[in-house]
């Protein structure tokens, strides 16, 4: 399966999820990307992993969408926005991984604020982009087609589809 084959399947399945299942899917990816941000922050002495961790905890606590404190979600959204690395300041791949990790959390908070499942699709893309970047870093000679069909990309795509097939939880 390639990314182009994966996207319509993923879109259809995400659109069929309940809000809680969509949050679970997003949380799975945010948690897996978080170590990238932590590593970046430690190496560059910049950022605030606690802000991402606290935002993730907020999403876990509110994933049923019952009594969501939207003001608190907005506060977390603003706080995460302030700790996203600027690629003009940090131009290496580590900063790209940190950017993807923090933007995934930002997208999950945006899903809480507007209920648009496009944010959940974007979270998926941040994960596959991170895998893609890591492959490109170690195997720079690969073509785009070879990247799309790389075993690590295929493994991630299958993992995400399996999550959705099992309704996340």
- Amino acid 168: pLDDT: 61
* Band of residue 166 on the pLDDT scale cut at 50, 70, 90: confident
**C-beta contacts of 154-161 below 8 A and 24+ residues apart:** 154/1, 156/127, 156/128, 156/131, 157/1, 157/3, 157/6, 157/128, 158/1, 160/6, 160/10, 160/25, 160/29, 160/124, 160/127, 161/6, 161/9, 161/10, 161/13
Cα 29–Cα 33–Cα 34 angle in degrees, nearest 5:
115
- For the chain, the 3-state helix, strand and coil shares in percent, each to the nearest 5, are 75, 0, 25
Whether the pLDDT of residue 169 is over 60: the answer is no
What is the three-class DSSP state of 142? Answer: coil
More confident residue, 38 or 149: 38
Whether the pLDDT of residue 44 is over 70: the answer is yes
Query: Which one, of 161, 159, 152, lies nearest residue 132 by Cα?
Result: 152
What is the three-class DSSP state of 17? Answer: coil
* Tokens linked to 67: 């009594």
* Band of residue 46 on the pLDDT scale cut at 50, 70, 90: very high
Q: pTM of the full predicted structure?
A: 0.95
127-146 pLDDT, tens digit per residue, is: 999 999 999 999 999 999 99
- Amino acid 2: pLDDT: 74
Average of pLDDT values for 11-19? Answer: 95
86-130 pLDDT, tens digit per residue, is: 998 988 889 999 999 999 999 999 999 999 999 999 999 999 999
Question: φ and ψ at 69, to 5 degrees?
Answer: -85, 95
**Separation of alpha carbons 88 and 153, rounded Å:** 27
């Amino acid at each position: 399966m390639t990314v182009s084959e994966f996207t319509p399947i993923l879109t259809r399945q995400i659109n069929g999820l309940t809000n809680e299942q969509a949050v679970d899917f997003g949380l799975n990816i945010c948690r897996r990307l978080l170590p990238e941000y932590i590593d970046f922050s430690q190496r560059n002495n910049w950022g605030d992993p606690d802000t991402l961790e606290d935002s993730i905890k907020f999403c876990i606590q509110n994933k049923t969408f019952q009594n969501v404190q939207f003001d608190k979600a907005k506060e977390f959204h603003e706080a995460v926005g302030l700790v996203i690395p600027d690629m003009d300041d940090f131009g290496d791949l580590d900063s790209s991984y940190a950017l993807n990790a923090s933007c995934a959390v930002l997208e999950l908070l945006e899903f809480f604020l507007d209920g648009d499942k496009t944010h959940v699709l974007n979270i998926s893309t941040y994960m596959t982009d991170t895998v893609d970047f890591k492959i490109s870093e170690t195997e720079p000679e690969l073509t785009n087609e070879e990247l799309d069909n790389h075993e690590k990309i295929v493994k991630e795509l299958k993992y995400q589809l399996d999550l959705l097939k099992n309704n996340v939880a």
